[in-house]
Structure 1
Amino acid sequence: MSIKSVPLPDIGNFKDLPVIEVLVAAGDTVEAEQSLITLESDKATMEIPAPFAGTIQKVLLKVGDTVNVGDLIVEMSTQDNEATQKPAESAPAPAAAPTPPPVVDAPARSTTAEPASPPIPPTPPSTAAPVNAPTLGASAHASPSVRAFARTLGVDLSQIAGSGPKGRIQKSDVTAFVKQALTAPAHSAPATGGSIPPLPTIDFSQFGAIETIPLSRIQKRSGKHLSTCWLNIPHVTQFDETDITELEAFRQSLKARADKMGVKLTPLVFILKAVARALADFPRFNAALDASGENLILKKYIHIGVAVDTPNGLVVPVVQNVDQKGIFALAADLAALSARARDGKLTPEDMSGGCFSISSLGGIGGTQFTPIVNGPEVAILGVSRSKMSPVWNGSAFEPRLMLPLALSYDHRVIDGAEGARFITALSRSLADLRELIV
C-alpha cells in the first residue's frame, strides 16, 4: 500500500476557482472517477474526479478555499498494483452550466467577524471605475465575508484598492470607501455606467402574501453578464421575415435519412449553415472589439453559440467550425450539446470560443423579440416561430411558410446598412438553399 497525493488536473484556462463542495472525508473509500470536490467557474460547476480507486487519508481543502491547477486536493492510499495516478488526464464533469461570461470570483479565507453595516452610500464619486470593468468587482481580491459585506452596502469592489497582502481588499477598505462616498461633494454628471441609480427597495409583503425563492447560479451569473452587455453595447435590432417554404419541404424529404442516421434534422441546423455563410461574407459580424475599443479583431474561424433552455436557466453552448460541417454532422453536434446542457454536464470548452449567437424560440412561440448581444460578440440572431402567411406572388396570394428573424448588433462596429445587408443575405440563403453553394 502507498500514499499518493491527488492534485487538481488541467481544467482549462481558469485561476483561483472557489471550492463550493467537498464530497469526501477521511476514511472514505472511493472508486476511480468518483467525484472528490466541486468547483465553480463563471461558466459551470465542475466536479473533480478521483484518478484512481483508494481510501481517503486526508482532505487538504475545505469549502471556500481557492485552487489552481496542480494544487493538492486529497491524500489517498492505494494498493501498489492499482491503476497509476493520472490526474492531468482526468476531465472534470460540470454539474451545471452557466452563461457567458464574468470572471471567476477569487475568495480567500477570512476569520474576522463582520462589523455592523454602516448606512447605504449614495452614488459613488466620479472617480469610480466605468461599468465596462470586466467583471464589476468579480475579479477583485477579497474574501467571501468581505464580498458579502460589500454586497450589503451596494459597493462595487472593482472600485476599491485593497490594503491587504497582494492587494487583498479588507472590510476596513470597504468602510473607508463608504465614508469617502458619504463625505464627497455631489456631482451633476449624467447617471451612466456605474453611476446608474438603483431601483427603490420595496416591501412587497405590505400588499399581500409573497414567497421568496433564490435564483439559480446560472441565472445570477447570466443576469449580471446580460446587464453588462446591455449597458455597454449600443444595440440596434433589424427585423425581417424569410420564406422557408422550400427549406421545410427539403427538410421533410431528408427525414427518413436523418432517422436512419439517428439524428433530428431541425430548422435550426439549416439556420446554422446559413449564418455561417453570412459570417464568411460579412466578416465584421465575426469579430470583437479589443480592450481599448479602438481596434476590431476579425476571427478566421466560425464557432456559433446556440441558446439552450435548461431547468436551471439559459446557457449558450458553442457549435465548433460550423462552416466545415454538413447538416447531419451539425445535427449530431447540436443534439449532443443540448443534451449535456440539460443534464448540467457542459464542459468549459463547450461554452468557449463563440463568434456569434443564435437564440431560437420557434419551438415555444411568439412573433418577434429583441435578443441581447452576447458580448464580446458583436451580433446575435433571434428566431421566432414560423407561420403560414398569404404572400403576393405578382398575380395572386399564395400560402407561404414565413420565419421571423431579429438581428441585434453592436452599433459601434456595425452600421444600419451593413445590418440590413447581413439579414437580407441570410434571408436569401434560407429561402433558397442553393445560395449556400454559389
Structure 2
Amino acid sequence: MRLIISWKLIFTFFVIWAFCFIGEATNLSKNEAYVTLLYGDEFLLGVRVLGKSIRDSGSNKDMVALVSDGVSEYANNLIQIEHFDNENQNGQSFLNGGSNNYLECEGDQGFLNSYYASFPNAHLFEPDLPSDILNSRTVPAMERLSTLYNADVGLYMLANKWMVDERELRVIHYTLGPIKPWDWWTSWLLKPVDVWQKVRVQLGESLPGTEGGKNPNDELLVKFLFLIPLVVLQFCYYRSFLQTRSVGDHIRHLFYICRTGGVFGYSSISSSISSNQQLPNGVQIPAFLGCISVLVCFIVALVSLGISLSIIPRQVMPWTGLLLMYEWTYTLFFLLFGSYLHLIYRWGRHVGHNVGSISSSAEPADYDFGKGHIREVSCCDISRWHYGVGLGSVAVVAPALPCIFGVTALFLRLALMIFGGLVLTSFMTYASQHLAIKSFKRGFED
C-alpha cells in the first residue's frame, strides 16, 4: 500500500512539474505584446481598428489594452472578444498615481530623455538588416524607431507627401490634436485617413451590429435623423401649396409652365428690386430691410450648421455624416429663414392694412391662361423654391471644389474652399435681400 501511494505521489509531482514547465515556457514565448490605452468609449473604434491592422500585418503577438475606469462594460466586452487582454490592475495608479513626476518633464521628448538616459544617443532601428548581421552583433540596450514607424500626418499635410516611400510605411500617427480619424468629417479634410477607413470597413461583427466599425445605437439614431427632415419638408410643402390651391390647379399650372417654355415669373426675382422701390400710395420699403435680412440669413446658416454637427454621431461613415449634415442644415435653414420671411410678410401685410391701398377681394384669379398672367403669390412661392434649390446646389459644390479638381495640397485645398465660400456668401447675400423685399411686397399687396 505504501509503495502504491509513493508512486502516486511521484506521478502527481511529475504532472505538477510538467504543467509549471509548460506554463513558464509559454510565458517566455509571450513576453512581447502590443500595448495601447483606452481612456473612454469614444476611443473604442480606434482601438478596434488598431487591433485589426496589427492582425492584418501577420503578427501573432499579444495585444494588451490598458483600460481606465470610465470605459463602459460594453466596450470592455468588445475589446476582449477581439483578442485584447484587459489589463486593468492598478489602472488608477497607472493613470493618476505616477503622473506628478511625469508632469515635470517638458513634452514627450523631454519625458523620454529624462526617463531613458541613453535615448538621445540611441541608434535607429534597422529592420532590413540581414539576419546573419542581426544575430552576430551585440544587442543594443535601446534603439530608436525611424519615420517608417511614426509617419506624422501633420507633416504630410504641410508637404503634401510623406517623408519616406509610402509603400514602406509601417505606422501612421494621426497627430492633428482633436482631429481624429474616426470622426466622419476628418475623411473630407485629410487624405491619409483613407488608409484608416479601409481597415475600419473590414472589421468583423464581434457583437451584434458592430460590423464595419458600426455602433448599434448610432445606427438607430441615423435612421431617425435621415427620416425626420424628409417628413418635415413634406409637411411644409403640403402647407405651402396644397392649402392655397388644389392638386388639379397645380397640375394645370405645371402644364402651363411647360407649354410656355418654363417661364416661372422671373420678374418677381429681377435684379431691379431694391429697398428704395416705392409701393402704392407713396409707401416705401424700409431701407434697412436688406441689411437686416442678410444678417439674419448668415446667423441662421451658422446656427443650422452648428445644430447639424452637434446632433450627428461623430463616428458614422463619412458619406453618411456628409449626407446628414447637408440634409439637416438645409432643413433647419429652410424652417428658420422661412419663419423670418413669414414675419416680414406679416409686417408688410400690417402696413398694407393700415394704408388701405389694396383689398383682398380685388385680387385677380390664380391664372389667366389666355394672357399668361401668374398670380403674384405663386411667383413669390416659386422664387423661394428657386433660391432654395440654387442655395443648396452652391452649398454642395463650394466645399467639393478640391475633390472636383483633385487637389490634395493643404493650402491649395483651403484656397479653393475659401473661394467656394465667397461664392456661397455672395449668393446668400443676394437671395436674402430679394426674398425679404418680395415677402414684404407680397404682404403689402395682400
| TM-score exceeds 0.5 | no
User: Which structure has the bigger radius of gyration?
Assistant: 2
Please indicate the TM-score interval, normalised by the length of the shorter structure: under 0.3
Which structure features the higher share of helix residues? 2
TM-score, structure 1 normalization: 0.20
TM-score, structure 2 normalization: 0.20
